[in-house]
Structure 1
Amino acid sequence: MPGKIKGPALFLAQFAGDEPPFNSLESIVGWAAGLGYKGVQIPTFDARLFDLDKAAQSDTYCQEVQGVCADAGVEITEISTHLQGQLVAVNPAYDVAFDAFAPKSLQGNSTARTQWATEQLKKAAKVSRRLGLDTSVSFTGSLAFPFLYPWPQRPAGLIDEAFAELARRWRPILDVYEEHGVDVGFEIHPGEDVFDGATFEMFLDALDQHNRCRINYDPSHFLLQQLDYLAFIDIYHERICAFHVKDAEFNPDGRQGVYSGYQPWISRAGRFRSLGDGQVDFAGIFSRLATHGYDSWAVLEWECCLKSPEQGAIEGAPFISRHIIDVTDKAFDDFAGGDTDAGRIKAMLGTA
């Protein structure tokens, strides 16, 4: 049965800052509600907005967070552990670049960093349940991505071992999510080992089809890879538990294509845009998700190479609202139908 998507909602990560109203949970959710958002996805790596360690220790703190959101008129859609998930698996090529995602006391110590990230993910499972949430969103991390292009030739077994190790790290984490009845919607994203449908299947197979391994669907990353993002929904809809509404455009020319030639975002053939400014077919996406019964949140993730985040947020709420389908329980041609009559059916078929 088709379901109705909830929204609009806003991922707060790209808006958090040192100036009000972006420097506290109370002020930022009030700002979001004022723009028409009904839900907020809360990052757990910015203590100005949400303290994951405190939430894991205190029911009272979780209730306070829920109260702040309720007073503003918004719901918590999910909590995000993207940065911690990234640190569950880091190839040495990215070691220095991703070190900044960890507390300063752990930087330079990859083993301790991975242990910290793993514990953060387990805490997020417990906290999600305390907040009454059935879903969280994250990244898988990456061991194999530096070897994406098959030159130099990859040695036999390299990719298999990378996904086996990724599964060894994630299985005990996902088991904790299973204990708490919470899904992990992995954002399928270049830079992660799971960046398209084929790699998601490899990850899922390595995890023996773990029940809590799910998808945070974001079409922008698929458009930039030139993947059929509508067909993706048809294939994987049973695993989609979250939805980032983000736009993108791909304009190849004689100088660059999918890889975009190391250019800055403004000059790339493939770049992220604010909602409605790119090429993503959101009418098709919302229709396809509704057809398959997706009834969770549509969450704006703002990333744009041109437009300010404030303008993107202002325009995003009505854009999402326009695309949410009030799913009908009637067929358009019901008026022409009639009661079932076995004799009439046989007469119409000439079998009476």
Structure 2
Amino acid sequence: MKTIKGPAIFLAQFAGDDAPFNSLDSIAAWAAGHGYKGVQIPSWDSRLIDLKRAAESKTYCDEIKGTLAENGVELTELSTHLQGQLVAVHPVYDEMFDGFAVPEVRGNPAARQAWAVEQLHLAAKASRNLGVTEHGTFSGSLAWPFLYPWPQRPAGLIDSAFDELAKRWRPILDAFDEAGVDLCYEIHPGEDLHDGVTFEMFLERLGHHPRCNILYDPSHLILQQLDYRGFLDVYADRIKMFHAKDAEFKPSPKQGVYSGYQSWTERAGRFRSLGDGQIDFKHIFSWLAAHDYDGWAVLEWECCLKHPEVGAREGAAFIRDHIIEVTERAFDDFAGGGTDEAGNRRILGLD
């Protein structure tokens, strides 16, 4: 068993143009002030990191780690969620996802995809230079517009989409393998990898690539009405990252999983701050401790009601209080009689 590392916080939802959220130094101090021990950095945010420079310069990476250490925190992982999304985009989403890319490639899907792929390759090198062994991302989506089987899907449509998705990601996964880093896909609605079945479809096409792994976020599973506890058991060997994010699902006579195009506050399923939703985190933290999870518990704050500063402050305490410092001995060791192989055989009546 292992004691989970944490608490840590994903900085994507907090970074901004105003202090203390506008530089790595100040946001690290803010995070430490709330009791966080680690930070997960969004690689697309130039206020916090220069990804290209991190991929090219070990000295720069040492400076990043030094800045964090001076403020009492360490780097947990990098994230390329926005760039990963752009590795595979169905044309219906071209305009809506253009804002995830740099201005010079917007309006040009081919150039945007090439930029996104380059970003992932840079992230693999940067992760190695920073000494982290996991990386979080999105898969992107070619098949998502056809999620519901009406109109009837042409035979082979989904197979073609997943064949192409695997083809695009295979060289990226190989680059992460070369860097010694696990690439962890956040299982998330809107992505082609949005549940266990779709992850398996992807994994099979990749020949069960060792670097193809999972960022476990139970909030996205409960909003789809998946068994988020059982998911841990089924994919135990692939879960390498963990976002601690709460959610609730309250169906009504008027709406269910699809939530009728309503805003987040009016949806049957909605994200909540830690402790305010329905996720059984006692079970999750116990499971992770018992199954030798070697990573961090990282707060990803997304709540439709609570102020982010309050969510961050409460989230650090919530994670800290749920981390189990694992025991080094069995509780009944005091009653152990001690024996040897010969004694065992006598007890079993074999001699």
Establish whether TM, by shorter chain, passes 0.5.
yes
Residue in 2 aligned with 1:302? 301
Write the distance in 1 (CA, Å) between the matches of 2:330 and 2:110: 58
Alignment of 1:1-352 (within 5 A): 2-340=1-339, 345=344, 349=348
Contact 1:237 1:289 in 2 (8 A): no
Distance apart, 1:54 and its partner CA: 2.1
Write the distance in 1 (CA, Å) between the matches of 2:130 and 2:341: 53
Write the distance in 2 (CA, Å) between the matches of 1:204 and 1:347: 50
- Partner SS, residue 7 of structure 2: strand
- The residue type equivalent to 1:123 in the other structure is L
Contact 1:177 1:183 in 2 (8 A): yes
Distance apart, 1:351 and its partner CA: 5.8
- The residue type equivalent to 1:279 in the other structure is Q
Distance apart, 1:329 and its partner CA: 2.0
Write the distance in 2 (CA, Å) between the matches of 1:168 and 1:33: 41
- Partner SS, residue 223 of structure 2: helix
Write the distance in 1 (CA, Å) between the matches of 2:15 and 2:210: 33
Distance apart, 1:341 and its partner CA: 5.3
- Partner SS, residue 78 of structure 2: strand
- Partner SS, residue 185 of structure 1: strand
- Partner SS, residue 100 of structure 1: helix
- The residue type equivalent to 1:204 in the other structure is L
- Partner SS, residue 76 of structure 2: strand
Q: Percent identity over the alignment?
A: 66
Contact 1:220 1:246 in 2 (8 A): yes
- The residue type equivalent to 1:167 in the other structure is A
* 1:75-107 C-alpha deviation (Å, 9 max, x unpaired): 100000000000000001111110110111111
- The residue type equivalent to 1:268 in the other structure is R
- Tell me the TM-score normalised to structure 2 length: 0.97
Distance apart, 1:63 and its partner CA: 1.7
Write the distance in 2 (CA, Å) between the matches of 1:18 and 1:347: 73
- Partner SS, residue 76 of structure 1: strand
Unaligned runs of 5+ in 1: none
Write the distance in 1 (CA, Å) between the matches of 2:56 and 2:339: 60
* 1:159-187 C-alpha deviation (Å, 9 max, x unpaired): 11111100110001111111111111110
Contact 2:57 2:129 in 1 (8 A): no
Distance apart, 1:58 and its partner CA: 2.5
Distance apart, 1:59 and its partner CA: 2.5
- The residue type equivalent to 1:107 in the other structure is R
Root-mean-square deviation (Å): 1.3
- The residue type equivalent to 1:91 in the other structure is H
Write the distance in 1 (CA, Å) between the matches of 2:242 and 2:348: 46
